[in-house]
Amino acid sequence: MLKIGFFQFEPRFGVVEENLERVVSGLHDVEADLVVLPELAFTGYLFENRRELLSLAEDPADSPTVERLRLLCHERDLFLVTGFAERQGEQVFNSALLIGPEGLVQTYRKLHLFNTEKEYFDPGDTPLEPVEVRDIMIGMMVCFDWAFPETARVLALKGADILCHPSNLVLPLCQQAMVTRCLENGVFAVTANRIGSDTRPRGSLRFTGQSQVVTPKGDILHRATADREELYLTEIEVNLARSKKMTEKNDLFEDRRPSFYTPLIDRKMGSLTWEMNPENVIRAYLSGLEEGDSSKILQLFAEDGVVASPLYGEAGASEFFPRLFRDTLESKISLQEIYHSSWAQHRFAAHFIYDWKLRDGTEVSFVCTDVFELDGNSGKIRKLSIIYDSRHTRSAFDGLKKEE
């Protein structure tokens, strides 16, 4: 069993040391494995401008605030996830820090900035990566990240058991949305919101409180009030987040159909067209190969291939490639162009150039036009490779298009 929870309180704007002491006092005798604090827990939220934010932000590597939290974690044998205004030179991020008895474990920088945050924070640039602590996988997200289901899904796909979610929520939407995030990903979530308000020259914001802990089945173990400070702790069975079964025959992850979700990585939403994505697919397809390893690439392309070349004439792949590899001294491959083919049928083509220097001094360039077909059910790519010399490449592709 693991004991986790949140500390909901009201930070006062701009008084970092006072807010820090409020946290240390609130957790001085806590017995837990993991506690989550709100977003921007020490600075407050409603900044006038970037200059004011920079004056309050700290570099975690040289931060009195982080050092005091480390001491607290050491004293209580505890891990904290806290919101933090992170300064790196002249950049400043709305971040979440994972801090333990030995110090800073991980930093996550908020990917989805909310409203006026865009005026003074730099957009986050850290990947969504869970980290292992005491045999559990912790994934961090910050406040408005809740509105983007991809955030929680990526963390869950990478193994997160618990989503730690520091927040300064002002809309009455997130708490229920996080129930759905837990259900659709089979994970726990701790949302730590703040209470009270920030009243500044530019206006006032009131925060909604109602911090909560939610189970992988969408059960709300506890939801705090909207206006009172609270430290809440509960024990959870982490293994509940490691089964993704919804029914005997349904698994949240195994039943996914990624080949139909491709618009998610295209800013242009609409029908299933991969306007920007064929190149991404090809590069992902080749990403497991070492750079410059043309032999492996050609072997992949030749699985179903027919080969013609000015070097050996027509030959089956099983004959052509061993001869070519035997005679090759140096080789390189470059992706030249993506051709849009019959993408409504999940097909596209790519134009590669292969340059060989053979052991007898002969230099040969081949152009390979590969037609890729994506299997919508399995997500696997099937390919048909035809290698020509450069004079015949375009006509070869035109012929393939007509055959479709």
Give pLDDT tens digits for 272-286. Answer: 333 334 444 444 444
The percentage of the chain sitting over the pLDDT mark of 70, rounded to a whole number, equals 66
Contact status, residue 137 vs residue 159, Cβ threshold 8 Å: yes
Which residues, other chains included, contact 202 with Cβ-Cβ below 8 Å and sequence gap of 6+?
46, 48
Model confidence band, residue 252 (pLDDT cutoffs 50, 70, 90): very high
Helices 317-327 and 294-301 pack at an angle, to 10 degrees, of 170
Residue 271 banded pLDDT, cuts 50, 70, 90: very low
What pLDDT, in 10s, does the model give residues 224-249? 999 999 999 999 999 999 999 999 99
CB 349 within 8 A of CB 327: no
For residue 258, the model assigns a pLDDT of 78
> What mean pLDDT value characterizes the chain?
80
Active site residue 39: yes
Give residues with Cβ within 8 angstroms of 75, minimum separation 6: none
Is the Cβ–Cβ distance between 58 and 68 less than 8 Å? no
Q: For the whole prediction, is pTM greater than 0.75? A: no
**Catalytic hit among 10, 73, 86, 143:** 143
Residue 182 is a catalytic residue? no
Considering only residues 329 and 140, tell me which one the structure prediction assigns the higher pLDDT: 140
Structure tokens at 74: 């050491």
Catalytic residue among 10, 58, 86, 110: 110
50: confidence class by pLDDT, cuts 50, 70, 90: very high
- Phi, psi of 65, rounded to the nearest 5 degrees: -65, -50
Give 88-112 pLDDT, tens digit per residue.
999 999 999 999 999 999 999 999 9
Q: Where are the domains of the chain?
A: 2-255, 262-403
Rounded to the nearest 5°, which phi and psi values hold at 155?
Answer: -60, -40
Could you read off the pLDDT of 106-135 as tens digits, one per residue? 999 999 999 999 999 999 999 999 999 999
The tally of CA atoms less than 13 A away on the side-chain side of residue 397 is 23
Fold type of domain 262-403: Nuclear Transport Factor 2; Chain: A, (3.10.450)
> Is 118 considered catalytic here?
no
Q: In terms of CATH architecture, what is 2-255?
A: 4-Layer Sandwich (3.60)
